[in-house]
Amino acid sequence: MIERNIAPSALRGRSVLVTGGTGSFGRHFVDYLLHHTEVARVVVFSRDELKQHQMQEQYAGQPRLRFFLGDVRDRDRLMRAFDGVHVVVHAAALKQIPAAEYNPFEFVKTNVLGAQNIIDSAIDRHVEKVLALSTDKASSPVNLYGATKLVSDRLFVAGNAYAGQKPTRFSVVRYGNVVGSRGSVVWRLKQIQPGETFHLTDPRMTRFWITLDQAVRFVMASLDEMRGGEIFVPKLPSMKLTDLIAALAPEVHLKTTGIRPGEKLHEEMISADESRRAVDRGDHYAVLPEIGWAHQERLRGTPLPDGFRYASDSNADWLDCERLRTLLNE
């Protein structure tokens, strides 16, 4: 997992916009930019006026921070927000799997059409770099949320061709479940009281885990090395959900309810088909674009073995209770 320190001068003098900037990742990323880099301006773009107000109070007097109310569905608003922006980190998305199954059109509007709006606006405004956040659900998707993020990933990779001779480059970061993010299973387990019942869909279930701090550092590192068209995948530990519950809430009663619509037993971040064009870069993988562009300098790395698949059940790195507690304390 990437833990490298990024030089404060990496974004010196640049203007960085974060879509979904009031979400769990967005808030941590904005805080990192303000305290650990020499950015000239940080723009929070989101549709939640209450959370923007709360961030304004938190960072009162911070001259480098700006706020833009808007929705990625609104291309005109993005065009206005991207004026003078050098780097965009796209973290805005609808994410809840059950909600996606019942509201598919809404997820398409935000996750797919919103991605197209980001691409068009970035090219027209001459943004230098766009890094979009994806999910392990986008690899071999079985639910609508994963399918919309797969389409989004493909759109951002193809955006490099649409840019032509313009300077804009697009890449993607794909990672697993974020430990402690709002609404996550870790977050829910922290709220539950001893003796209460916790509903588990299937005791065999495994997941990849990453902390918010690790996610922020990985995004920073990916911004530094992206050339355009890559999907960056960190090397993460896996953990069974039953072990997670035993570590965080050992006194709860477990009730198995059966797997939900659109849910997988095990998650995957690189499929066997994708691995044919992926390389190992030490502490992470990079899935390279199938189609190269004349302007692109391709990343180097060790090709993956034939049939390689990066999945949470066959992962070589597993979290035990002690390591999980260490992550949470960090």
What burial letters (b/e) apply to 124-143, b meaning 16+ CB within 10 Å? Answer: ebebebbbbbbbbbbbbbeb
Catalytic status, residue 149: no
What burial letters (b/e) apply to 162-188, b meaning 16+ CB within 10 Å? Answer: ebeeeebbbbbbbbbbbbbbeebbbee
- Is residue 10 within 8 A of residue 74, CB to CB? The reply is no
Burial (CB count <10 Å: 0-12, 13-18, 19+), residue 50: exposed
Q: How far is CA 328 from the centre of its chain?
A: 19
Residue 166, phi-psi category: left (phi > 0), alpha (psi -120 to 50), beta (remainder): beta
C-alpha to C-alpha distance for 72 and 20, rounded to whole angstroms? 9
C-alpha to C-alpha distance for 114 and 99, rounded to whole angstroms? 18
Catalytic residue among 137, 149, 235, 264: 137
Catalytic residues: 137
